[in-house]
Amino acid sequence: MTRPQNDTFLRALLREPVTHTPVWLMRQAGRYLPEYNETRRRAGSFLNLCKNPQLACEVTLQPLARFDLDAAILFSDILTVPDAMGLGLYFAEGEGPKFERPLRNEWEIRDLTAPDPNVHLRYVMDAVAEIRRALGNSVPLIGFSGSPWTLACYMVEGGASADYRTIKTMLYDRPDLLHRILDVTATAVVNYLNAQIESGAQAVMIFDSWGGVLSHAAYHEFSLAYMRRILADLKRSHDGQRVPCIVFTKGGGQWLEAIADTGCDAIGLDWTTHLGEARARVGNRVALQGNLDPMALFASPDKVAAQAHRVMSQFGEGTGHVFNLGHGISQFTPPENVSVLIHAVHNYPLQGSSA
Query: Is 270 known to be catalytic?
Result: no
Smallest distance, ligand CP3 to C-beta of residue 51, A: 13
Residues 32, 154, 192, 226: which is the catalytic one?
Answer: 154
Host H or E run for residue 122: helix 122-135
Residues 7, 15, 36, 40: which is the catalytic one?
Answer: 40
Residues 70, 77, 83, 270: which is the catalytic one?
Answer: 77
Q: Which residue, 59 or 279, has its beta carbon nearer to ligand CP3?
A: 59
Smallest distance, ligand CP3 to C-beta of residue 302, A: 27
Smallest distance, ligand CP3 to C-beta of residue 32, A: 9
Smallest distance, ligand CP3 to C-beta of residue 206, A: 10
Q: Which residue, 44 or 276, has its beta carbon nearer to ligand CP3?
A: 44
Query: Is 229 known to be catalytic?
Result: no
Query: Is 31 known to be catalytic?
Result: yes
Q: Which residues are annotated as a binding site?
A: 27-31, 77, 154, 209, 327
Q: Is 332 buried (19+), middle (13-18) or exposed (0-12) by CB count in 10 A?
A: exposed
Q: Which residue, 272 or 348, has its beta carbon nearer to ligand CP3?
A: 272
Query: Is 101 known to be catalytic?
Result: no
Smallest distance, ligand CP3 to C-beta of residue 237, A: 23
Smallest distance, ligand CP3 to C-beta of residue 86, A: 18
Query: Is 192 known to be catalytic?
Result: no
Q: Which residues are annotated as a binding site for substrate?
A: 27-31, 77, 154, 209, 327
Binding region for ligand CP3 (CB under 6 A): 26-31, 40, 46, 73, 75-79, 96-97, 144, 160, 207, 209, 328
CB atoms within 10 A of CB 314: 16
- In three-state secondary structure terms, 137 is coil
Measured CA to CA in angstroms, residue 336 lies from 28, 33, 298, 311 at distances of 13, 10, 10, 20
Torsional sign, CA 145, 146, 152, 157: negative
Give the residue from 311, 279, 248 showing the smallest Cα distance to 27. Answer: 248
- In three-state secondary structure terms, 347 is coil
**Radius of gyration of the chain, Cα coordinates, nearest whole angstrom:** 19
Instruction: Return the residue nearest ligand CP3 (CB atom).
Output: 209
Q: Which residue, 115 or 268, has its beta carbon nearer to ligand CP3?
A: 268
Residues 11, 15, 27, 228: which is the catalytic one?
Answer: 27
Q: Which residue, 145 or 353, has its beta carbon nearer to ligand CP3?
A: 145
Question: Using alpha carbons only, what angle is made at residue 64 by residues 81 and 308, rounded to the nearest 5 degrees?
Answer: 95
Q: Which residue, 8 or 333, has its beta carbon nearer to ligand CP3?
A: 333
Q: Is 298 buried (19+), middle (13-18) or exposed (0-12) by CB count in 10 A?
A: middle
CB atoms within 10 A of CB 126: 17
In whole angstroms, what is the distance from residue 9 CA to residue 258 CA? 24
Contacts for 248 with CB less than 8 Å, ≥ 6 apart: 205, 206, 207, 208, 209, 267, 268, 269, 289
Q: What are phi and psi of 196, to 5 degrees?
A: -65, -40
Question: Which residues are known to be catalytic?
Answer: 27, 31, 40, 77, 154
